[in-house]
Amino acid sequence: MNTRAALRTPDVIRQAREHLSRGQLPMDLLDASIGRSWQRCLEHGLSPGIRLDLPRLDSRELRLQCEQHRHLIELADPLVSQMTEDLRGCQLLLATPAATILKSYGRNFVLDERLRIGAGINLDERWFGTNAPALALIERAPVLVKSCEHLLFPDNPVSCVAAPLFDLSGDCLGLIDLTFEANHPRPEIFLRRVQQLTGALEQRLFLHHYQQRWVLQVHASLAELDSVSCGLVAINDAGLILAVDTQATQWLGQLPASLVGRSIEELLGSPWPTFQQQCEGQSELLGLELTGGRLFGRLNPPEQWQPAEVVRIPSPPPVTTPVGRQLDDLIASWPTPLVREAHRAARALSAGLPVLLQGETGTGKEQLAQALHASLRGQRPFVALNCAALPESLIEAELFGYGDGAFTGARKGGYGGRLVQANGGTLLLDEIGDMPLALQARLLRVLQERVVTPLGDHREVPIDCRVIAASHRDLEALVAAGDFREDLFYRLAGVVVELPTLDEQADLAGRIRERWNSLCHRHGRDTILDESLVERLAAYPWPGNWRELEHCLEAALVGTETQCHRLTLEGLSPRWQRKLQASVTGNPTAAPKATEELTGGPQVLRELEHNHMVRTLEAHGGNMTAAARALGISRSTLYRRLG
């Protein structure tokens, strides 16, 4: 359940502690991750004022831990030491995946007369209560814990940020913590710094692992090509993609499973020997013409890492598919009224009107946004920002950019921001319903005035981009609840397209066969999907929509032995066998058939259903959102069925 973002101020946390002293845990006053941490601490028997007895390693045990995590220390020590020099007055900690501190850098903070944070201490929540290192490991994400949010230290003199470090397999190697004075006015700056540090370390891991391979760096901005936000693609001598990192999947707009094993020629549209000849003996900068816009790249030969002049790679041959075919293919199985709305959205976007995409998770909102963008004529940039994937403190800088020296840790020369990057093209604001209210006001002003002022800069930069917003949340309901600005909603909702769920689309069995054939082509397989299995797949309700279906099919294909030429139900994992068998046992299509015999057929059923929906809507005073919730269906489904 999504809730309004908590105000993380000392006054609000003080109120939360007052509730806690009366035996109440006020989750609505706390940041979600902090609230979960406080709850776990209380379950462990911890409360403010308790006397701590922290586990601490002796010198021999600490040496053993350092030896066990020698790879982590060797990797991180140079960059952590460098950051310590840059951030004088801060303390940095390098810790194990079990939250045991291996090394401490810089200043040594003392929380009280008994407690000095240093090497050998274990910061597990069970002993230390709410703290950034423990929370980052539990959440598997960068976190900020403000001074007063440390449950056991109401008057804590420090705040801290921490981020986990993952290896190429996604396993946690350890974490970096940065502790600083509690009264710092911009704590989110430190969160950005620790994210940059872990990003740089993960890049080093990637480059070290693939130093004997070709590595392609990609980014939408030439200036950012050497930053931690650039993507990395490892390629073997035959031109096959071996691995991609998280940033590369973002810039290329595809999941790792759809990229690994493919030829780089498919992705970039030029012969692999051409790349090899141009980059022989040194790194080369490339201008890459990809679907949806232009990217910059640097191709590095094995063990060669030096910049060079920009080389223009020829564009792929012209695509003969008519404009709009990608959109038509995507919406082919939609209900007719929604097909009309999708085409209306394409025309509106072409005319400069904003488009809002509403749909449940996994229904393909980003794919539809890309298809709408592709329906525009000409090569234009397509830039996406997921408002739910970034911490609140980073969205503003990512969206609007910042000037040179805007804050400690800002990139030299500043950063243009996503709005500027999308100039002349299309900006997708994904999960717009999760954008903080304060930023909604600024975004509204930018959309109205068509100029953006970067943080720490007085220049007004004119912008001209088409805007597509998307959300799985009901924005009209958020407006009614006061969680989304009404004026921004009407600014974004030029044309609203409500994406159908998977079970609302026609000929699902046919679409399953299409997806299966596409996956077989991608993975070089000729396995046939058994028709009885297709029927079971088509009967399953797919609560995760296209995303769940795609993962199910691809996992089934890659997990099947290569000599298997026909996949049946027995070839799936036990979990999916249970799920698909249950969907047939409780097949929702069976109940209506039995009911039709008693009620006079499908027409009578539709009338009963319609009357029930009308009565429910009347009972809720005409509130479509409340009626849909009571009926257990989406608001868009209620609209369609009421006609």
Interval 455-493: pLDDT, tens: 776 667 778 889 999 998 889 888 988 889 999 999 999
More confident: 591 or 208: 208
Confidence of residue 183 (pLDDT cuts 50, 70, 90): confident
Nearest of 315, 319, 313, 344 to residue 331 by alpha carbon: 344
Residue-wise pLDDT for 42-66, tens only, equals 999 998 878 777 788 999 999 999 9
The region that residue 101 occupies, defined by phi over 0 for left and psi between -120 and 50 for alpha, beta otherwise, is beta
Q: What is the mean pLDDT of residues 413-435?
A: 83
Residue-wise pLDDT for 541-598, tens only, equals 777 777 788 778 888 887 777 778 888 888 888 888 888 877 655 544 333 333 333 3
Percentage of the chain lying above the pLDDT 70 cut: 83
Confidence of residue 308 (pLDDT cuts 50, 70, 90): very low
Q: Which residues pair with residue 290 across a beta bridge?
A: 293
Token digits of residue 9 = 């101020």
- Judged against a pLDDT cut of 50, whether residue 321 lies above it is answered with no
**Other CB atoms within 10 A of residue 214 CB:** 22
Confidence of residue 3 (pLDDT cuts 50, 70, 90): very low
Question: Is-contact 118 108, C-beta < 8 A?
Answer: yes
Distances (CA, A) of 231 to 104, 133, 209, 235: 31, 27, 15, 13
Percentage of the chain lying above the pLDDT 90 cut: 24
- Judged against a pLDDT cut of 50, whether residue 324 lies above it is answered with no
Reduced to 3 states, what is the DSSP secondary structure of residue 239? coil
β-strands 466-471, 355-358 pairing? parallel
Nearest of 491, 465, 488, 471 to residue 349 by alpha carbon: 465
β-strands 466-471, 426-430 pairing? parallel
Q: Is the dihedral of CA 49, 55, 56, 58 positive or negative?
A: positive
Q: Tokens 């109940």 map to which residue? A: 591
Which pLDDT does position 608 carry in this prediction? 66
Confidence of residue 218 (pLDDT cuts 50, 70, 90): confident
> Per mean pLDDT, which range of 158-162, 299-303, 322-326, 427-431 is the poorest?
322-326
Residue-wise pLDDT for 103-115, tens only, equals 999 988 877 666 7
Which pLDDT does position 290 carry in this prediction? 63
Which pLDDT does position 355 carry in this prediction? 93
Output the 3-class SS for 521-556.
Answer: HHHCCCCEECHHHHHHHHHCCCCCHHHHHHHHHHHH
CA 377 to chain centre: 29
Instruction: Specify the pTM.
Output: 0.49
Distances (CA, A) of 25 to 104, 132, 149, 247: 34, 20, 13, 38
Confidence of residue 379 (pLDDT cuts 50, 70, 90): low
Which pLDDT does position 558 carry in this prediction? 77
DSSP 502: G
Nearest of 258, 223, 262, 222 to residue 241 by alpha carbon: 262
Q: Is the dihedral of CA 32, 34, 40, 46 positive or negative?
A: negative
Q: Distance between CA atoms of 461 and 573, rounded to whole angstroms?
A: 54
Token digits of residue 230 = 């650039």
Residue-wise pLDDT for 90-106, tens only, equals 999 999 999 999 999 99
Q: Distance between CA atoms of 97 and 211, rounded to whole angstroms?
A: 26
Question: Is-contact 514 553, C-beta < 8 A?
Answer: no
Q: What are phi and psi of 283, to 5 degrees?
A: -75, 150
Q: What are phi and psi of 578, to 5 degrees?
A: -65, -45
Reduced to 3 states, what is the DSSP secondary structure of residue 373? helix
Which pLDDT does position 585 carry in this prediction? 56
Q: Distance between CA atoms of 202 and 208, rounded to whole angstroms?
A: 10
| Adjacency order of strands within the sheet including 143-145 | 101-106, 91-95, 172-181, 158-166, 143-145
Q: Is the dihedral of CA 259, 248, 331, 542 positive or negative?
A: positive
Q: Distance between CA atoms of 643 and 641, rounded to whole angstroms?
A: 5
- 32-43 and 132-139 helices cross at what angle (nearest 10)? 100
Q: Distance between CA atoms of 625 and 633, rounded to whole angstroms?
A: 10
Output the 3-class SS for 461-495.
Answer: EECCCEEEEEECCCHHHHHHHCCCCHHHHHHHCCE
Confidence of residue 312 (pLDDT cuts 50, 70, 90): very low
Reduced to 3 states, what is the DSSP secondary structure of residue 109? coil
Nearest of 178, 199, 224 to residue 84 by alpha carbon: 178
R_g of the chain computed on alpha carbons: 27
> Amino acid letter at 437?
L
Q: Distance between CA atoms of 569 and 592, rounded to whole angstroms?
A: 26
Q: Distance between CA atoms of 418 and 451, rounded to whole angstroms?
A: 13
Confidence of residue 643 (pLDDT cuts 50, 70, 90): low
Q: Tokens 């890492």 map to which residue? A: 305
Residue-wise pLDDT for 483-494, tens only, equals 899 999 999 998
> Per mean pLDDT, which range of 65-79, 335-349, 403-417, 549-563 is the poorest?
403-417
Which pLDDT does position 314 carry in this prediction? 33
Q: Distance between CA atoms of 268 and 287, rounded to whole angstroms?
A: 10
Confidence of residue 233 (pLDDT cuts 50, 70, 90): very high
Residues comprising the chain, all counted: 643
Which pLDDT does position 151 carry in this prediction? 92
Q: What is the mean pLDDT of residues 373-393?
A: 76
Q: Distance between CA atoms of 235 and 331, rounded to whole angstroms?
A: 34
